């Protein structure tokens, strides 16, 4: 039996949907199987993803349309991959993430619990690359933000919570905080140090959101060595 369905229909078919669900609307070239890897060529004409999704959901049992689909093997997409909506028209970005608020990519490591630095207290590590609702692009370490009442908390309470990146104005921002026994940051959740390479007056500026922050200019590798130290003005 020839498989003439689109890539998405093929995936849903693995969960029980008919592989001929979309035959009347879209025709694609047959996939080529290589061991457990499936290659799908770009459809012509382009797929109507909204219509395809409606037809797939209509055929699935009630209450299971939002359930996860498992792919055993490699996934190869000859085209663009988009999460949360269609790829940006007129672009060739390989991966697009859309969101009504913050768009983020979640990274989780050490799930095998074999970190040599944590022989006696193994745990996972988490990180997030996100573009905030305010336009700030940030790399966040050791923090998990839940969508329920738990809000944001440190994933590992034995480590600091830190993020760095660009704030909403495009300036470099750095944040570092210890965490208490509940996983809550011990400092306000704001940029602790902002670096403006080119401010509105054309000059370089450093701004601190915490009192007593200093910058050390070291000429020695000795601990706390500093030829010059400068306390950053409080913002």
pLDDT tens digit sequence for 93-107: 999 999 999 999 999
Q: Mind listing the pLDDT tens digit for each residue in 10-51?
A: 444 444 444 444 444 444 455 444 444 444 455 566 667 677
pLDDT at residue 219, as a whole number:
67
Mean pLDDT, residues 145-170: 88
Three-class secondary structure of residue 11 per DSSP = helix
230 vs 23: which has the higher pLDDT: 230
Which is nearest to 46 in space by CA: 10, 80, 96? 80
Q: Mind listing the pLDDT tens digit for each residue in 85-94?
A: 889 999 999 9
Q: Read off φ and ψ for residue 167, nearest 5 degrees.
A: -85, -175
Q: Read off φ and ψ for residue 153, nearest 5 degrees.
A: -150, 155
How far apart (Å, rounded) are the C-alpha atoms in residues 27 and 60? Answer: 21
The mean of the pLDDT values for the chain is 75
Q: Are 150 and 182 in contact (CB under 8 A)?
A: no
Question: pTM above the 0.85 mark?
Answer: no
pLDDT at residue 152, as a whole number:
87
Residue 80 has pLDDT above 70, yes or no: yes
């Amino acid at each position: 039996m020839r498989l003439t369905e689109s890539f998405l229909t093929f995936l849903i078919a693995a969960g029980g949907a008919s592989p001929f669900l979309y035959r009347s609307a879209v025709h694609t070239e047959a996939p080529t199987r290589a061991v457990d890897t499936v290659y799908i060529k770009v459809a012509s004409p382009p797929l109507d993803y909204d219509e395809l999704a409606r037809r797939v959901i209509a055929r699935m049992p009630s209450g299971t349309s939002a359930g996860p689909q498992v792919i055993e093997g490699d996934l190869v997409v000859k085209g663009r991959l988009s999460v949360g909506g269609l790829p940006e028209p007129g672009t060739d970005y390989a991966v697009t993430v859309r969101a009504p608020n913050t768009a983020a990519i979640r990274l989780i490591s050490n799930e095998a619990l074999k970190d040599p630095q944590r022989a006696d207290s193994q745990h996972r590590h988490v990180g997030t690359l996100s573009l905030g609702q305010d336009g700030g692009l940030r790399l966040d370490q050791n923090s998990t933000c839940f969508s329920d009442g738990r809000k944001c908390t440190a994933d590992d309470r034995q480590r600091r919570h830190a993020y760095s990146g660009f704030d909403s104005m495009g300036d470099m921002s750095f944040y570092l905080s210890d965490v208490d026994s509940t996983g809550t940051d011990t400092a306000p959740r704001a940029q602790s140090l902002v670096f403006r390479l080119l401010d509105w007056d054309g000059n370089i500026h450093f701004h601190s959101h915490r009192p007593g922050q200093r910058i050390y200019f070291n000429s020695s590798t000795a601990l706390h060595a500093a030829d010059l130290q400068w306390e950053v003005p409080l913002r």
